[in-house]
Amino acid sequence: MTEKKGHFEKGKWVEEKEAEAENTAVEMPQKSTGAGKEENKENVDDFDEKIAELKSSVSKNLNDLFGVGKALLTTEKGRNHLAKKMKKAEEKIDKTIEDIAEGFEKAIKK
């Protein structure tokens, strides 16, 4: 995956192409056809904006995830980190199994 150039603007990631289009876009005045239709138009615009933000956020998070995954698997430091985490998980699993076995022993003795 490739990173796209851009910047944060009002808490939203704006890609360079998108930023250029926004700067050159001219808003056309809208003809008022009633409050209900205008309100629906605003809601649709909000959804379009929210969907665009979501797409950008998901894309960025996937890039981050793949980057960390690659670093964990392809570097010595990353592999050491994984080994430590696996060792801790193994110890927790062993402890849980021992606790379950002790619980069964106590239950049988009663």
Query: What's the pLDDT tens digit per position in 57-100?
Result: 999 999 999 999 999 999 999 999 999 999 999 999 999 999 99
Q: What is the dihedral of CA 90, 95, 98, 103, to 10 degrees?
A: -140
12's tokens = 């939203």
Round to whole Å and give the CA distance between 18 and 49.
Answer: 12
pLDDT value at residue 13: 73
Residue 43, token pair as written in the block: 């809601």
